[in-house]
Structure 1
Amino acid sequence: MNLSMKRMQAILVKDYKEFSRNLAVSSTILVPLVIALFYSRMGIDTIQVHLMAINMTFSLVATYIQCCLIAEEKEKNTLRNLMLSPATIPEILIGKSMLTFIITILILTGSILLTGYNPGNTLIMIIAFLLSSIFYITIGTLLGLIAKTVMESSVIVMPVFFLFSIGPFASAFVEKYPVLKVIEWLPSTQLINLAESLENNFKVGDLVQPFGLISLWIIIVMILTVIVYNKRMKDDI
């Protein structure tokens, strides 16, 4: 599969111009930094707090911004032109994700520095963060394809924020409410479990479930995204 870097870079530049003009969306990237600064001022130094700030960054930046960028393309009816262009599906989806990925990594780095998080194994956590970024950006793409307007995208992304950012803390009530056991399978929960494992004498086997489940989530959401994308392409045509 040949990918055209020029086409993907053109999409990246276009997204950057639209993103910089939309203050309602671009200002959102400051929220995780403010939250991280607040936690650092409180002096709370636990894995759960560090990872909550990180998971919020993924939801508020990776998912929200990506969702809004895709929804804005649909609202302006420019996504249809992009779909009918010579660019392939991978080129469009990767190109539309590049800006969000760059911003996510920058804000994630800032949040980690502000909270002072020092992972037990930096390399393993970097890989986990990269995989998580791909997952949250992909789910943002999926929601953006579903949303009809930018305003609707702001609403549709909220369940994702609460589920993946705050949801892991509900695992404390699993014994009382067994239905909440599903929360233990969330990628955000697996990220916390991974971080906790790395603080101890972890074994290679301890990494299999977190990485396996996060990767599985990515595959599932990617398949759904391609299905919805193809459906939208046929609807637009």
Structure 2
Amino acid sequence: MHAIEETQLEPGDGALLLANLTKVRTDIDRAVRHAGREPQSVALLCASKTQSAERIEQVILAGHRLFGENRVQEAKAKWPDLQARYPDVELHLIGPLQTNKVRDAIRLFDVIETLDRENLAEALAQESAKLGRSPKLYVEVNTGAEPQKAGILAQDADAFIAKCRGLGLDIVGLMCVPPVDQQASPHFALLSQIARRNGLTRLSMGMSADFALAIQLGSTEVRVGTAIFGHRPA
């Protein structure tokens, strides 16, 4: 594991992160109330892609415990020590997963949100059996049928979920990323419909720019990075 170096933050950065986190939480609470939903029915996942362990730790010290990373290799470089120091943190993989990274992903992540193809489902089932550890899984649905984007097509989702369950995988929810050039509402509504007919209660949908809309349409987890950490480093 890589040791966490002594925290080196820009002056005032910790206070800025706390202010951003507080504002996002307040905005989520407001959206939940506006939608007539129960308090605490929507979780905030802090998307910490490209962020240093030092900045992430500031958010942990503010009391937050749910984070998401996009890349297995990046997460391996900074999260093991954080997990050792804060064992109650829950870490999600919210980026694409290659089959050759499955073993590392199972060891590192509590939840994998980007299950999107049969060979990945088979690899997850095999490695989970070998390691004796089974992360919870979300199926990623390509609601916009975008050829450049990962995810099961909406019309294939029911059969894929059944296939994954047949492999013994712990499918608990669905995830989507709507097309950037389209209104998000139909995509969030479609994901909710697929979840209902498959008996799934967790929906990971909505990011910094559209989480209020996602909450109105049933999201149980919003993935927010920029609004908390600022624009990602190049």
Please state which band the TM-score falls in when normalised by the shorter chain. Answer: under 0.3
Q: Between the two structures, name the one with larger relative contact order (CA 8 Å, sep ≥ 6).
A: 1
Determine which structure has the larger helix proportion and give its number: 1
- Using structure 1 for the length normalisation, give the TM-score: 0.26
- Using structure 2 for the length normalisation, give the TM-score: 0.26
